[in-house]
Chain A
Amino acid sequence: MREQLRELFRYRGLLYMITFRDIKVRYKQSVMGFMWAILMPILIVMAGMVVRYAYALATHVPLKSEDIASVAVKSLPWAFLISSIRLGCNSLIGNNQNLVTKVYFPKEILPLAAMMSSLFDFLVASAALLVFLILVHTGWSVHLIWAPILLLTMVVLASGIGLVVSAASLFFRDVKYLVEVLLTFGIFFTPVFYDVHMFGDRGKWLLLNPVAPILDGLSACIVRRQPPDLPWFAYSLGFGVLMLFGGYLLFKHLEPAFAESI
């Protein structure tokens, strides 16, 4: 494993290059250019606003700007996660198939590059979000220091899932459709539009979804100006690290069979 990681490090130039290629191709093809990066999050935020507005009408609790900020803060990492899983799913097949069957290099570079190019989109969108947060006077606190840590956890989780689904979709062509369905409906089981505390005591069941504590924590440290729920954060982090570690081992175990199974 150490040898494999060393090799990955030696090939880091290729990781940047393929990430760069993916970004370049995406922005070259679309007329909208950088708008592409914020289109998806904006759509999610707008959907979230509709949901929150309906909630406000039903409960007769007026909608606050904080609620909208919370939806926006959680939408971006969610958009990052699904785009990184979706691209990761296709990273070993389709356009990159030739790279798998004809050239040697550590293949985990492909799903990792898919994750990194999604991360780039996320960072572009974050800049827009920052402007929005300043406009609605969210303010800041010392707890903001948690934000990068939580995002890093998200990156770890996304990489782990990316490694697993990329290898799985190479061996089984319908994994892609399965993942697509899970991603479409995943948002209903994840506190993006709603907050965990709305469910009271039963909210902890929602937090079993490892993405939930991360999103809730982000909303806490950015919008509610309080630290994230530490035990649940530890749960997410543990899950993410296990996923990445296990995913990497699984990926490297299957890698020799890639070229002949594709």
Chain B
Amino acid sequence: MSDIALKMEHVYKKFRKGEIFDSLRDLIPALTGRMFRQRELNVSDKREFWALQDVSFEVQRGEAFGIIGHNGAGKSTALKLLSRIMKPTKGYLAINGRLSALIEVAAGFHQDLTGRENVFLNGTILGMTKQEIASKLDQIIAFSGLEEFIDTPVKRYSSGMYARLGFSVAAHVDPEVLIVDEVLSVGDYVFQQKCMDRMRSVIEGGAAVLFVSHNLKAVTELCQRAMLFKHGKVVTIGPTDDVVRRYLSEALKPRSGEIDKIVTISQVRVRDRGGEQSTFESGDTAWVDVEVTAHENAEQLAVVIWLTDENQYIIFDTSTQRLGHPPFSLRAAQSYHCTFELKFNMAHGAFHVCAAIHRYNIQKEYDRLAPGATVFIGSSMAVRGAVNCLPKLLRAETAAMSSRDECKV
């Protein structure tokens, strides 16, 4: 067997949009109508669109490969082709080895069966034998953390429990190729971490993982290489950090002025010493320029900037007023510039730089730009999480347990 776990070569997939006759009642009149009006046959061409165009890539064994892109870019279509649920219109694709697709993990569940019965059912659907499932049953149930409810019909489960059980089954298939589509969005933080760990151990076991997610942080943590999709075409394939950077730079759009607001934020720019920049190393110094334009007279103004992580969670927040600059006033058509100096002590990941202008004394917000800019922080893999606390390892030694400690154990 070769080292290539899966590959696509010049794959195209065409869909038809618009109405499809899904009942005989509609089809038969349409067909008889068509016999008399030959000319309309060409109309159907316009109703087609290409969900994937000329997609080629390959994934090696033991490699995690990420796919990113906006909604509707063709990611899920690519996965459905790979998991053989759909067939490509043109092109060639191959998979070497047992494939497990975590596309909708609880697809095979039946509402009226208990958790345990569903483990067997879903396991079989995913390609395991009954003996295999029986031997892993305890592991699967323990992983899901649903020991108490395993003999309850799944219709009484919460959606989180449902998904956890589904993922637990799918994660124990022992695949050689694992396809994961945005399954981490369900489940609580602890369970998400469990899933990430499980995927890492699958990769270490020599399997290939194809990971689709909007969680860029998870993609960069897990995958060495990634691919960016846009409108069904491959934009770039390469090291994950480069691809994520490209994705973020494409996501930024210039902003046109909105005249219905009294004061607007017209620009937010992040730069380093050399000029505008969107990628930084953890700990770098950056300057954030904010430009404010007034359309009418306004007073008691302050500019606020803040940073959010990818989940829009605010991790940092400051303002001109808090940094000692008194509230300012602007007359119509005047503009205002300020520059903040920041130290990007964040860990690896993508962060949004946001800005707002508000009237200080009555806390009225005139305008906000969120995100105004997006930066990608690269760092050594030694730290994970949101911030970089600049860790140093000072002591690491092995000692024999004293007899008193042993008693405690």
Contacts and interface: CB of A to CB of B under 8 A. Distances in A.
A25 interface: yes
A21 B120 CA distance: 10
B113 A25 contact: yes
A21 B85 contact: no
A98 B113 contact: no
Interface string B125-153: 11101100000000000000000000000
A21 B113 contact: yes
A260 B23 contact: no
B84 interface: yes
B295 interface: no
A225 B365 CA distance: 94
Contacts of B117: 21, 24
Contact of B27 (A21, A172, A259): A172
Contacts of A175: 24
Interface residues of B, number: 32
Contact of B110 (A13, A21, A102, A171): A21
B22 interface: yes
A103 B107 contact: yes
Interface in B1-45: 15, 20-25, 27
Contacts of B127: 105
Interface string A27-49: 01100000000000000000000
Interface string B61-88: 0000000000000000000100111110
Contacts of B112: 25, 28-29
A13 B124 contact: yes
Contact of B108 (A28, A103, A174, A260): A103
Interface of A: 13-14, 17-18, 21, 24-25, 28-29, 95, 98-99, 101-105, 171-175, 178, 256, 259-261
23 contacts: A13-B130, A17-B121, A17-B124, A17-B125, A21-B117, A25-B110, A29-B112, A95-B110, A99-B108, A101-B107, A102-B104, A102-B107, A103-B101, A103-B104, A103-B107, A104-B101, A172-B22, A172-B27, A173-B23, A178-B24, A256-B86, A256-B87, A261-B22
Interface of B: 15, 20-25, 27, 80, 83-87, 99, 101, 103-104, 107-108, 110, 112-113, 117, 120-121, 124-127, 129-130
3 closest A-B pairs by beta carbon, nearest first, are: A102-B107, A256-B87, A102-B104
